[in-house]
Amino acid sequence: MTKQQIGQAAETKACDHLQKHGLQLIERNYHCRQGEIDLIMRHGNYTVFVEVRYRRHSGFGSAAESIDYRKQKKIIRTASHYLQQYRELAQQPARFDVVAMSLQGSDARINWIQDAFQVT
Q: What is the pLDDT of residues 61-120, one digit of tens each?
A: 555 666 788 999 999 999 999 999 999 888 899 999 999 988 665 677 899 999 999 887
Contact 33, 17 (CB under 8 A): no
Strand order across the 107-117 sheet: 24-32, 35-43, 46-55, 94-104, 107-117
115, 114, 30: which is closest to 77 by C-alpha? 30
Cα 14 to chain centroid distance, Å, stands at: 9
| Model-wide pTM > 0.85 | yes
Q: Which CATH class is domain 26-117?
A: alpha beta
Answer yes or no: is pLDDT of 57 > 60: no
Letter string b/e over residues 98-117, b meaning 16 or more CB atoms within 10 A of that residue's CB = bbbbbeeeeeeebebeeebb
